[in-house]
Homo-oligomer: A and B are copies of this chain.
Amino acid sequence: MPNFSQTVQHIRSSEIRDLMKLATRSDIISFAGGMPNNDLFPVAEIEELFLKMDPEKKKTAFQYGPTPGYPPLLEALKEYLRTKGLPVDTHKLMITTGSMQAINILGMEFINPGDLVMTETPSFIGGIAVFKTFQARIKSIPLEADGIDLEALETVLEKETPKILYVIPNFHNPAGIIYSKEKRLKLLELLKDKNIILLEDDAYNELYFNNEAKAMTTPIMALNKTDVEVVYTGSFSKILGPGFRLGWMLASPEIYEKAQIIKQGIDSCSPNFTQVLAHEFMQKGYLEPYLHKIRQEYHERRDLMQAALKKYMPQEVQWQVPQGGFYFWLKLPEGMDAKEIVKDSIIKGAVFVTGKTFDPQAENLNYMRLAYSNMDKNQIDEGVKIIAESVKKYMRVYS
């Protein structure tokens, strides 16, 4: 069970870590880790590309590279992002050591202790962790089915101006939702003439399950006709492998210039070894067929998961069916605490992450995140059954 310790790492919650220690069984079914499936990585393709690679390029892979990234990869990525309507000619692109480093760099550039940063709730734990590291004051705005609650946001913005507003519009981690186009445009309108950086985290952009969802994935930055300062981040983690530690940041020249200097002081450059491989992967046309394959695979898992949830979960549990990405976000009846459920289900052999973990205010007690990405398809039904039984048991006890 080599993924178990990784799962623990990526939950980033000491509470859950303690629970995990209780589970010594190696056959635990984990809906916990928000990571790609180990069996879906393009191992054979990368091996083939590495073998066929030009010897000079191989040497380059071992050497230092320029701080903003391996130039051919920057070029390939620029053309790729252009197809998404992103402003690659007026803005500057930088390769980062995972997209989390991009968030970190932006934090170093803009956040002083006590500064206000706004996030969605729930939000990505890695993002929350960065903002907390820089001692930001975090206010969070609830998510609705089609994106951030604009009225709640407007109410706060009437009184306060955050340095950064951090959003994940596509196949949200953990909420699984996608922003409607209307809401993207209204959000830009709302931020107009305000001195707020909109940090758009688009790690799941490619993982749509149908054409309708695909049409909705156009980044907010690509829709921006206002003066809003959008910083866009993306990642190779979900479309190639997190082990490459490669992400990117697209930002205005002003933000980019400082970001580059900061990155130089953090790690000098991102790994050239994996940058060279990522470039081969894009350049030789392997990305698109690979995406086609993993979209189907995650789509199948989503379907199996939805079927199992419908079969086993009591009707009081609510969720939206995700149209892409890795996550189901389940709402338990008010007053219930998902922690009690995971305590029970982990003993029976299934684990997930409680909603509280994804809430900057550590509330949201009655939510659960179930990731279907990194598990065998044949485990899904059994795993959901276990968790549903824990839910029912809890409901019997506390009702």
Spot the interface stretch: A22-30, A63-71, A79-87, A161-169: A63-71
Task: List 17 A-B residue pairs with CB atoms under 8 Å apart, sorted by A's residue number.
Answer: A2-B56, A6-B63, A9-B66, A41-B59, A43-B55, A47-B50, A60-B243, A64-B242, A97-B245, A104-B266, A126-B268, A129-B264, A129-B265, A133-B262, A245-B268, A245-B273, A274-B274
Q: Which of B41, B61, B244 contacts A271 (CB 8 A)?
A: B244
- Would A66 and B270 be within 8 Å (CB), given that A39-B59, A104-B265, A265-B133 are in contact? no
User: Given the complex, which residues of B lie within 8 Å of A101, measured CB to CB?
Assistant: 266-267
Q: Is A51 located at the chain interface by the 8 A CB criterion?
A: yes
* Complex Cα–Cα for A33 and B64 (A): 10
User: Given the complex, which residues of B lie within 8 Å of A47, measured CB to CB?
Assistant: 50-51, 58
- A271-290, CB under 8 A of B: which get 1 and which 0? 11110110000000000000
* Complex Cα–Cα for A172 and B256 (A): 33
- A115-133, CB under 8 A of B: which get 1 and which 0? 0000000000010011001
- Would A242 and B63 be within 8 Å (CB), given that A9-B269, A273-B273 are in contact? yes
Q: Residue of B at shortest CB range from A61?
A: B243
Most buried by B among A39, A244, A265: A265
Judge whether A98 and B268 touch: CB under 8 Å: yes
12 other A-B residue contacts (CB within 8 Å) besides A6-B65, A271-B273? A2-B60, A12-B264, A63-B243, A65-B243, A97-B245, A100-B267, A100-B268, A104-B266, A104-B267, A126-B268, A242-B268, A274-B274
Judge whether B268 and A271 touch: CB under 8 Å: no
Q: Is A110 located at the chain interface by the 8 A CB criterion?
A: no
Q: Is A241 located at the chain interface by the 8 A CB criterion?
A: yes
Q: Which of B63, B98, B244, B268 contacts A273 (CB 8 A)?
A: B244
* Complex Cα–Cα for A32 and B126 (A): 38
Q: Is A5 located at the chain interface by the 8 A CB criterion?
A: yes
- Would A64 and B133 be within 8 Å (CB), given that A271-B271, A274-B273 are in contact? no
